[in-house]
Amino acid sequence: MNQTLNETLNPQLQSWVVSANAAGCDFPIQNLPFGRFRTQGDSGWRIGVAIGDQVLDLRKAGLTDHADMHRLMQATLQERQALRQALSEGLRMGSTRQSAWEPALLAQSAVELGLPCEVGDYTDFYVGIHHASEVGRQFRPDNPLLPNYKWVPIGYHGRASTLQASGSSFHRPMGQVKAPDAAQPVLAPCARLDIELELGIFIGQPNAQGVPVSIQDAEQHVFGITLFNDWSARDIQAWEYQPLGPFLSKNFASTVSPWMVTMEALEPFRQPFSRPEGDPDPLPYLDSVSNRTRGAIAVQMEVVLQTARMAREGHAGDVISRSSFAEAAYWTVAQLVTHHTVNGCALRAGDLLGSGTLSGPTLAQSGSLLELTTGGKNRITLSNGETRGFLEDGDTVVLRAYCEGAGARRIGFGECRGTVLPARTEG
Amino acid sequence: MNQTLNETLNPQLQSWVVSANAAGCDFPIQNLPFGRFRTQGDSGWRIGVAIGDQVLDLRKAGLTDHADMHRLMQATLQERQALRQALSEGLRMGSTRQSAWEPALLAQSAVELGLPCEVGDYTDFYVGIHHASEVGRQFRPDNPLLPNYKWVPIGYHGRASTLQASGSSFHRPMGQVKAPDAAQPVLAPCARLDIELELGIFIGQPNAQGVPVSIQDAEQHVFGITLFNDWSARDIQAWEYQPLGPFLSKNFASTVSPWMVTMEALEPFRQPFSRPEGDPDPLPYLDSVSNRTRGAIAVQMEVVLQTARMAREGHAGDVISRSSFAEAAYWTVAQLVTHHTVNGCALRAGDLLGSGTLSGPTLAQSGSLLELTTGGKNRITLSNGETRGFLEDGDTVVLRAYCEGAGARRIGFGECRGTVLPARTEG
């Protein structure tokens, strides 16, 4: 950790934005995540930084002369650190910037928070080994974890056009489903609608086509991390996914949280990364000392389910699962970037890499209902007595995450919220 | 076929651009495909229409007031037909526009032709049933054509960032490969580099997220069709593709031809579409009278291979395969659009749908070397005595296509050309 970073991460730092100093606040001055917002009448998105319950308009604060998030994300490491330093100093208790920056603050509750940037290409990985094993058991009982899993960071391309900002809703998808004993499929509303608890990794610095990114350089290409809910239609998936992978079972909607938590802010929460005893070492291109000593990131995550009845009754919902990135992931962020580019594939600023479902080793740490209910067979009972196998119309799912410990100030990711509307069956 | 279209398709029409009237010319006045070009010093792409060996600058000709291809592609059907009519009238022999438009013409050989538009999302389908059957035999000998194939237009998402304009080259990809008898994979240059002969379907009018496109309306959402070469690393693919589909085996490069041949220009080449006797009918949402009576498009295609030695010796290359869209495809363009959106997935102007490899029923109609050489086992011998299993460094592949017959003027698609460079092994 370099000196500049150490200073912006000092847990004693307080902000003149009072809400940022509250215990449990996701956005203390040590976090400083980037996102996009707009107010009524704005012609486009503005770049903001979350601080407490406020958002700082970066251009109004004089910290950029543009509102192009991709341009900001492509900045060099030095430029990014200088911007972080300027934000930290200006927002600090006693800063001479306070009076100049106060007019650049808006309440987060008073603005619309968008996707953190426009996404060119979205890739979904599959780093959750407990998820891969359990889903494998359900889709392929005789062959749960395929032989390539411990060698290849499995990934596939997803759809950018249907990424949604937190707070959006979507219609339950229609699709072809086929009962195991049916002679043929039918078009029907998805009956096994699920969530996937993921992190979203946003690329900053691009690599040119044909030029792989080494594992040593990989993290320099990552701008920040969000929460990500990759809604999944399990019945559609089971029928369509062979031989080319999931398609309509995934691309109807995916929800992204508004704030990109930077790699700089995550610095105190880095941990050694290792594989279980007896597993093969990764191939040399996916291995480095740094990846072993600090490849993991200790992010704690939780899934909240709020049914329509709960919403009507003013009940915020139940936490139905808690998991941890470090416990769930078989591959690191750096390994994903390096593997993705080893063939010369170009990543661009704003590209999104989903981690894959981050289930921990126990049932209570399931990142999907498919796992939590064992394919819908063991329904969960909620605190108000309702039960769920898969999602019902009107259900809202909220993902949350935070990092704490290691003598650092706790930081959070905000929330990733989406609501299921009934299927449109008229078509 | 409506009256306006009939008139622009009249095979007797001649252009004052003399090269457009030559027999065998891809771009007679009946074609009028759209693309993007630039010359040295241009700050951005311009919109052009191919006519003979020239390109007409649409803005210079006064036919648009912008250079935004997505905006042009989103035009209503009426606006598109009006533009086509204006182009046809202005380029016609004896038109009063000739002197005004001559300065808006540039030789195609004197400009750089780009991707026809920026691509947001790229989806690859798998409509070639002969391809699916033969590849299935090689990847899964006991289970070649999966049970969903005749029900689901199988597709998956690909990568937009590595789409290349015709004339580009790319490095042979590195990747994980595993010999069947090896205990573990190695990182190595792809040894089974292949082509995929496809058509590229470009979306014009978008649909909103959550709003499916019916099969009746589907073709209104298609702007035009190009050639498409979905280069494939078969050895990387075999090791990585389960369970989530192809990834690095495909996303290192795909090549798109420069000219979008519009649905209006393809009108004379529409044909009835039917399934083999005994096959199930498509589900109702994928079926319509129009799809049965005119769902197919008679596009003839060919694959040319020019080795490095041929290039040195001034040899244009050998045609190694000839195929036909109508014979190869098990699903129609309309069925792809409707299936893609049945779950509410949003398609945007400029989105690309690859058809999948368009192999005909015989070996000589193979759209990939995997099929043509039966997995590399039966090498083909070229006219200069060289042989090929898969592609070698320095090989150039050119796809070509045309429509003819039905009393109409022959039209062509131009060419889709790409060259294989050696792997970058230093990394």
ipTM score of complex: 0.97
What 3-state class would DSSP assign to B357?
coil
DSSP state of A99: H
B chain contacts of residue A146, beta-carbon cutoff 8 Å? 242-243
Residue A2 pLDDT greater than 80, yes or no: no
Task: Spell out a b/e string for B57-76, using b for 16 or more CB atoms within 10 Å of the CB, else e.
Answer: bbebbebbeebbbbebbbbe
**Is the CB of residue B56 less than 8 Å from the CB of residue B91?**
yes
Interface of A with B in 109-128 (CB under 8 A): 120-121, 123-124, 126
Report CB contact under 8 Å: A171, B244: no
Residue B412 CA to residue B401 CA, distance in Å, equals: 6
pLDDT at A4: 58
- What is the pLDDT averaged over residues B151-179? 98
Arithmetic mean of pLDDT, A233-247 = 96
Q: Which own/partner pairs from A79-87 qualify as long-range (CB within 8 Å, at least 24 positions apart)?
A: A80/A204, A80/A223, A80/A262, A80/A264, A81/A2, A81/A4, A81/A5, A81/A264, A84/A4, A84/A5, A84/A8, A84/A32, A84/A262, A84/A264, A85/A4, A85/A7, A85/A8, A87/A32, A87/A49, A87/A56, A87/A63
- E-strand ranges in A74-151 read 105-107, 112-113, 122-125
Over 60: is that where the pLDDT of B3 sits? no
Q: Do A161 and B209 touch (CB under 8 A)?
A: yes
Mean pLDDT of B111-126: 98
Token representation of residue A164: 């949604």
Q: How confident is the model at residue A1 (pLDDT cuts 50, 70, 90)?
A: very low
Percent of chain B predicted with pLDDT > 90 = 95
CA distance A220 to chain B (A): 17
Distance CA A295, CA B327 (A): 52
Q: Which residues of A touch B344 (CB under 8 A)?
A: 162, 170-171, 173-174, 252-253, 424
> A226 and A202 in contact (C-beta within 8 Å)?
yes
Question: What single-letter DSSP state applies at residue B92?
Answer: B
Catalytic residue among A66, A70, A130, A131: A131
Which residues of B does the annotation mark as catalytic? 131
Contact B284 A427 (CB under 8 A): no
What's the average model confidence in pLDDT over B1-19?
85
Q: In this predicted model, what pLDDT tens digit does every residue of A80-119 receive, in sequence order?
A: 999 999 999 999 999 999 999 999 999 999 999 999 999 9
Residue B283: list chain A partners with CB under 8 A: 176, 185-187
Closest among B203, B220, B207 to B118, alpha carbons compared: B203
Burial A272-308, CB ≥16 within 10 A → b, else e: ebeeeeeeeebbebbebeebbebbbbbbbbebbbbbe
Which residue of B lies nearest to A356 if distances are taken between CA atoms?
A: B244
* Residue B160 distance to chain A (closest CA, Å): 7
Q: How confident is the model at residue B6 (pLDDT cuts 50, 70, 90)?
A: confident
Please name the amino acid found at residue B180. P
pLDDT, mean of residues A310-331: 98
Min Cα separation A71/chain B (Å): 17
Q: Residue A400's pLDDT is what?
A: 98
Which residues does chain B have within 8 Å of residue A178's beta carbon, measured at their own beta carbons?
Answer: 148, 151
Cβ within 8 Å, pair A187-B339: no
List CB contacts (< 8 A) between B161 and chain A.
120-121, 209, 345-348, 351
Inform me whether the C-beta atom of residue A337 falls under 8 Å from chain B C-beta atoms.
Answer: no
Whether the CB-CB separation of A325 and A358 falls below 8 Å is answered with yes
Amino acid, single-letter form, for residue A104? A
Closest by alpha carbon to A147, among A168, A132, A125?
A132
pLDDT at A50: 98
**DSSP-derived 3-state class of residue B11:** coil
Instruction: Give the list of residues 6+ apart from residue A407 with CB closer than 8 angstroms, or none.
Output: A11, A268
Interface of B with A in 50-109 (CB under 8 A): none
Q: Percent of chain A having pLDDT more than 90?
A: 95
How many Å is the Cα radius of gyration of chain B? 21
**Under 8 Å CB-to-CB from A314, ≥6 apart: which residues?**
none
Burial of A309 (0-12, 13-18, 19+ CB in 10 A): middle
H helices of B49-176, where? 69-73, 77-91, 98-101, 129-139
The pLDDT assigned to A386 comes to 98
- The answer to whether B345 contacts A252, with C-beta atoms less than 8 Å apart, is yes
How many Å apart are CA A145 and CA A152, to the nearest integer?
Answer: 12
Stretch A148-159: mean pLDDT:
98
Question: Taking all residues of chain A, what is their mean pLDDT, rounded to a whole number?
Answer: 96
What 3-state class would DSSP assign to A44?
coil
Distance CA B293, CA A44 (A): 46
Using 50, 70 and 90 to split pLDDT, how confident is the model at A214? Answer: very high
What are the chain B neighbours of A152 within 8 Å (beta carbons)?
176, 185, 239-240
Flag whether residue B136 sits within 8 Å of chain A, measured between CB atoms.
Answer: yes
Q: Tell me, what's the pLDDT at B326? A: 97
Query: Tens digit of pLDDT for each residue in B266-277?
Result: 999 999 999 999
Mean pLDDT value across residues A217-224: 98
3-class secondary-structure state, position B56: strand
Q: How confident is the model at residue B427 (pLDDT cuts 50, 70, 90)?
A: very low
Q: Which two tokens stand for residue B93?
A: 């022999």
Nearest to B266 by CA among B23, B2, B31: B31
Tell me whether residue B146 is exposed, middle or buried, using C-beta atoms within 10 angstroms of its C-beta: 0 to 12, 13 to 18, 19 or more. Answer: middle
CB contact under 8 A, A340 and B246: no
**Residues recorded for chain A:** 427
Min CA distance, A246 vs chain B (Å)?
Answer: 6
pLDDT (average), residues B5-30:
95
User: Which run of H or of E encompasses A387?
Assistant: strand A387-388
- Residue A126, SS3 per DSSP: coil
Average pLDDT of every residue of chain B: 96
Domains of chain B: residue spans and CATH? 3-113 (2.30.30.230), 122-421 (3.90.850.10)
Tell me how close the Cα of A408 comes to any Cα of chain B, in angstroms. 37
Q: Do B344 and A243 touch (CB under 8 A)?
A: no
User: A398 vs chain B: nearest CA distance in angstroms?
Assistant: 21
B389-417: per-residue pLDDT in tens? 999 999 999 999 999 998 999 999 999 99
Rounded CA-CA distance A251/A183 in Å is 27
pLDDT over threshold 90, residue B142: no
What is the gyration radius of the CA atoms in chain A, in angstroms? Answer: 21
pLDDT for the residue A426: 63
B285 to chain A, any CB pair closer than 8 A? The answer is yes
**How many C-beta neighbours within 10 Å does residue A80 have?**
22
Taking residues A298-327, what's their average pLDDT?
98
